[in-house]
Structure formats: C-alpha cells, structure tokens
Amino acid sequence: MGKVKFSVWNMEWMNELFEGDPPRFRADDDKGYRSKHLIKARREDLSGILNHIDSDIWVIVEGPNQVSELQLFFDDPNVNGDWKCAVQPSGAQSLGIAVRTDRANFADVPLTWYDVKTNDEAESLRLATNEFQMDTDSDGLDEVHKFERTPIYATIHLKNGKEFRVLGLHLKSKGIFGNALEWSKWWSRADGNRKKIVAQCFQLRQHFLNKYLQDNATKDIPLIVCGDINDGPGFDTSEMRLQSSGIESLMGSVWHPNLCLGNAVFDALDAENREELDFRSLSTTSFRDPIFTGKYRKVWIDHILYSRTDTDWITEGTISKSLPGEDGGKPVPFYKAFPTASDHYPVSCLIDSDAL
C-alpha cells in the first residue's frame, strides 16, 4: 500500500482555543490567554501548516486536554480530511494523536489508544512515568523526579494488516520563566532543569524502552518515539557538568547497539554532515539568549526516533519551515506566512507500510 506520512508538532498552547462543555471554539476576536494572538488567526495559521505538510498521522504536543476538543479542531472545515483523534489528558499541555481516515491507508479502527493511567497494556509505561528517585549528578543524594506531562501511547493499524506503536513525549522544559534572576541563580535553575530532562530520558530508557525492545510481547512491534524532548545532541554547558545528554540517553547506549533507536532527521542529513556529526543545519525552535547576547539561538529539540528492524521502514526525515515561493521564487518562512501558529516547526518522516 506504499508510504504514509507521519509528523510531530508542538502546536503551542492549543488549549487556549477552546471553552465550554461540550467544547466550542472561543470567539474569533478573543485573544489567547498565553499567545495573546486572535483565536481566528491562530486557528487559520495552525490549519494552514497542517494542510501544507499534509500528513496522514499527527502527534500533537501542547494539545488540548480533552479528545472532544482535539476532534473539534480536526473536524473544522479549515482542516483538510477526515480524522480520528485521541488525547492523553494531562492538564493544559496534553499530548494527542490524529489519524487521517479518508485516504484508505488505515484499518476500519485506525488506532488503539492506551490510557497510561489505567490501561493494562500501558502498565510498564505507567510504572516508568510515575514519580521516581534518581541521583542525576552523582553526589550520593537521590532527587525526586516526575513527568509533568503524561506520554501518549497508541497502536496504529494499517490497511494492509500491519501495525506499529507510537509513544509521544513532552519532557521538562529548559525554559526559565518569570522574574529576572541574578546570574548564579539563573545557572542553578538551568542546571536543575537539565537534571530533570536527563532523569526523565534515562527513566524512560531503562524502565520502558529497554523492556519494550526485548519483551517477547512487544519486541517485534515497530515503535516510534517522538515529541518535544527539549534536548538536542551533545552536551550544553549544564550537561557537561552532568556528563549526560538527555536525547542520547533516550536513543540508547553504545553498549547495547541492538536496543538503540534511529533518528529520522539525522538519517536524512547528507553524508558529510552525518560523518562529522554536524547538526548546525537542524533546528526546530529558537530562544533568546538571556545572559550573554540577547540574540536568538536556534535549537533542535523535537525528534522522531524509531526502533530498528531488518528493513528501512522510516525514511525522509525532515523539518518543515517554509512554503515554496510562487513561480519558483524565494520560499516564504512559516513565521511570515503563518505568524500566529507556533514557536516550533513540525518534524516529519515517511513510513513504508510494506516494510513493516
């Protein structure tokens, strides 16, 4: 049946678009309580990017906390296609998934969602994401950690009878918000945030992924792990002190290469950049440097990871940032074409359904 397109996107505080029970969109001329943009503009800009990328499956980060709200958004005439949605309720920034059902790519029941809080199929993930203790900085003291947002976990059922699973994540933010801090306190807060990210990645790897990839019940079911990990490759200044990288802990240990996850966007780099581990061309968001220059720094923190199989079932990883220019002209950046959509760029790949 060919290939289906898979994308993950932090859609930035979608919860501000809705009100009421049953839910409805807030008035067009209302402003978002977080973005401060007009609701009408946000709906149109978010839909514009969804339609342009034209994926068959979306994992939504910072989605609404009710499935009825996410379904309302995808049922809106602004969004192309027919969709089946699921949400893992987790407060104002929940994770969701949407599967397009009008292209005959999926079974009659396109997805099975496992509530991490109650479903037996998600028991190992539930145990891994409960509050836990870990000594992240090797000082002999265990710190208490928790997952601020519960992951979303689901099986996707394809039309050809094949299936794969999706684990959607939104890990601890590196952002330091609120009042200005004295320099040393800012660094202390930054170090604390890195500890939390590293701890969450290590916990998922040790207590869920390693088990999933070796257990007889799941090891042959291909898995995508995706989302806003809030970390990129290598060590930033705080991670140098911890001697640990969150995303690389999540991907796996070199001592267990058979359990390592691939990275769709890294795979799509040209051969020279892969050889040199040069990631400078990759970014999914940016932030203002609050300490040294005040300029914006680009970072790659949104990822699509996947379990290895004997076939290349994941290909063409890409980060989408612009519309093609008219008549072959200069591309139009999303931040100009869709200025109120999100502060993150979507990440996509193709899934070869015949290779599963």
pLDDT at residue 325, rounded to an integer: 86
Contact indicator for 284, 344 with CB cutoff of 8 Å: yes
pLDDT at residue 328, rounded to an integer: 76
Name the residue among 103, 105, 147, 143 with its Cα closest to residue 125.
147
pTM score: 0.94
Give the long-range contacts of residues 175-183, CB within 8 A, separation 24 or more: 175/287, 176/290, 183/291
Which residues are within 8 A (CB) of 29 and not within 5 positions of it... i.e. 6 or more apart?
38, 39, 40
Count CB neighbours of 36 within 10 A. 9
pLDDT tens digits for the chain (356 residues)?
A: 789 999 999 999 999 999 999 999 999 999 999 999 999 999 999 999 999 999 999 999 999 999 999 999 999 999 999 999 999 999 999 999 999 999 999 999 999 999 999 999 999 999 999 998 887 777 777 888 899 999 999 999 999 999 999 999 999 775 555 555 565 665 566 666 778 888 999 999 999 999 999 999 999 999 999 999 998 886 565 554 554 678 999 999 999 999 999 999 999 999 999 999 999 999 999 977 666 677 888 999 999 999 999 999 999 999 999 999 887 789 999 999 999 999 999 999 999 999 99
What tokens does 103 get? 């292209």
Q: What are the structural domains, with CATH classification, of the chain?
A: 3-355 (3.60.10.10)
Strand pairing of 143-145 and 132-134? antiparallel
